[in-house]
Amino acid sequence: MNMDKNAGSGTLNLLQITDSHLTKDSKSDLLGVVTRDSLDAVLKLVEKNIAGQEHPAPDFLLASGDIAQDASNEAYQYFNDETEALCSKSGWFSGNHDDTLVMTGSLSDKAKFSKVFRFDHWQLILLDSSVKGSVHGELAASELSLLEQVLAERPDLHTLVCLHHHPVDIGSVWLDRIGLHNRDEFFKVLDKFDNVRGVIWGHIHQEWESERNGVRLFATPSTCIQFLPKSSGFAVENIAPGYRNLSLHTNGQIESRVYRADDFKFDLDLKSTGY
C-alpha cells in the first residue's frame, strides 16, 4: 500500500496512459504505427496541455496495461523513462500483452506496482485482470478479496477501481468476447459498498463512458492504434492516439476528458484482420 500524505487537500489530478504496446525494437510498428513515436506524441500533447493550462499537471499517472507488446524489459524501461519526467508517481498493472514478472522486474521502484494508492480524499485500487496466455480477463479470488478488503477498510475515501479488461459489454462483438469474464463476481463486490465513484480500464482502444448504479465507467484510447467502435469483427479506426485526464474532486465527483494527438502523422494498415 502506498500512502501519500502530501497529496494536498484539493482535487486529485490523474492521467491515464494506456495500451502503449511498446517493443524492444525502437522502430517496431503495430499496423503501421510506430508505438514509441505515438506514445511520444501523446506525451508531448500532455506537456502542451499542462503548459497551456488546459488541465493541471498530474498528481498521479495510471498505466492501465498493455504497456508492452512483446513483454520486453526494454519496452518497460522506455515507458518509465518517457513518463517519469511527466509524473514521478505512477501505478502500473498488467494487460493481456504484458508479463507481470518481467514488468515488475524491470524497475527498481517497486512502489509503482502497489495495488492501493491512498490520498486525502480518494483511494485508487489497481487490479490485475490478466490471465497468462489468454486475451480475455478474469479476476482471481485473491484480487476480488483484496478489492473487498480495501473498500471495507476505508469507507470514508472515494474510490476509483482500475483494471485492464472491460467489465461491461461495449457493443463490439469481438471485443465483448475478450472482456472481463467474471464480471458478475466483480460487481457483486462493488455493489456491497457505496464509496465506489468510478471504474476505469484500457484494452478496448477507444473512448468509452457510461454509468452503472451511480458509478462512472471510463475507457480510454490507446496511445497507438484505435479499434473501430461497435464493430462485429476486428477493425481499426483511422483516428489519432490519445490519453485521458481526470479530476477527482474532494466531494467524490469526477470530471474527465479525452485528448487526442491530432498532429501525429501515421499510415495505418486499415485492412488488417488482427494485431
Contact pattern for Fe ion over residues 164 through 203, marking x by CB under 5 A: ----------------------------------------
Q: How far is the CB of 19 from Fe ion (least distance, A)?
A: 4
Q: Which three cell numbers stand for residue 150?
A: 480495501
**Phi then psi dihedrals of residue 227, to 5 deg:** -90, 145
Q: Could you say which of 14, 15, 19, 189 contacts Fe ion (CB under 5 A)?
A: 19
- Count of positions on this chain that bind Fe ion (CB under 5 A): 2
Choose the stretch contacting Fe ion; rule: CB under 5 A; options: 35-43, 46-54, 62-70, 165-173: 62-70
Q: How far is the CB of 227 from Fe ion (least distance, A)?
A: 9
Cα 98 to chain centroid, rounded: 13
Q: How far is the CB of 202 from Fe ion (least distance, A)?
A: 6
Q: How many CB atoms lie within 10 A of CB 268?
A: 18
Cα 275 to chain centroid, rounded: 19
Burial class (CB in 10 A: 0-12, 13-18, 19+), 56: middle
Q: Which three cell numbers stand for residue 248?
A: 477527482
Q: How far is the CB of 48 from Fe ion (least distance, A)?
A: 25
Give the Cα-Cα-Cα angle 233, 236, 242 (nearest 5 degrees): 135
Choose the stretch contacting Fe ion; rule: CB under 5 A; options: 64-72, 157-165, 175-183, 243-251: 64-72
Q: How many CB atoms lie within 10 A of CB 109?
A: 11
Q: How far is the CB of 272 from Fe ion (least distance, A)?
A: 14
Q: Is 7 in a helix, a strand, or coil?
A: coil
Q: Is 66 in the site for Fe ion (CB under 5 A)?
A: yes
Cα 6 to chain centroid, rounded: 24
* Cβ nearer to Fe ion, comparing 7 with 258: 258
* Cβ nearer to Fe ion, comparing 52 with 133: 133
* Cβ nearer to Fe ion, comparing 59 with 66: 66
Q: How far is the CB of 203 from Fe ion (least distance, A)?
A: 6
Residue 75 contacts residue 46 (beta carbons within 8 Å):
no
What is the C-alpha separation between 217 and 210, in angstroms, rounded?
5
Choose the stretch contacting Fe ion; rule: CB under 5 A; options: 18-26, 176-184, 226-234, 237-245: 18-26
Choose the stretch contacting Fe ion; rule: CB under 5 A; options: 12-20, 71-79, 180-188, 259-267: 12-20
* Cβ nearer to Fe ion, comparing 19 with 128: 19
C-alpha distances (whole Å) from 67 to each of 97, 149, 197 are 8, 28, 25
Choose the stretch contacting Fe ion; rule: CB under 5 A; options: 11-19, 78-86, 122-130, 230-238: 11-19
Q: How far is the CB of 97 from Fe ion (least distance, A)?
A: 6
Q: How many CB atoms lie within 10 A of CB 193?
A: 15
CA-CA-CA-CA torsion for 87, 246, 222, 112, nearest 10 degrees? Answer: 40
Residues that bind Fe ion (CB under 5 A): 19, 66
